[in-house]
Amino acid sequence: MNLDEIKELTPNELSSRKKELRQEIFHLRLQQQAGQLEKPHLLRTLRHEIARVETVLTAKTKAQ
């Protein structure tokens, strides 16, 4: 998801997206601990996307 798509989401949608991303990271970390993670770069990518979502969410809540 790029920044323009994230900005179009409502605060509730942003919160649910953040929750989904955190869940995904959790599952990837479990795979990493088991030695089954094939694409370790996904962890970093998801962390960056969570940061984008949190930034937009903070900006929207401050604007209200």
* In the chain, where the domains are located: 3-59
Residue 62: pLDDT over 90: yes
pLDDT tens for residues 1-46? 899 999 999 999 999 999 999 999 999 999 999 999 999 999 999 9
Backbone angles phi, psi at 54, to 5 degrees: -65, -40
Residue 59: pLDDT over 90: yes
Q: Which CATH class is domain 3-59?
A: mainly alpha
pLDDT of residue 43: 97
pLDDT of residue 34: 96
Q: Using alpha carbons, list the distances in angstroms from residue 52 to 4, 30, 33, 44, 58.
A: 11, 24, 26, 13, 10
Residue 24 tokens read as: 């995904």
User: For 29, how many CA atoms within 13 A lie in the half-sphere containing its CB?
Assistant: 9
Residue 51: pLDDT over 90: yes
The answer to pTM > 0.95 is no
Number of CB atoms found within 10 A of residue 46's CB: 16
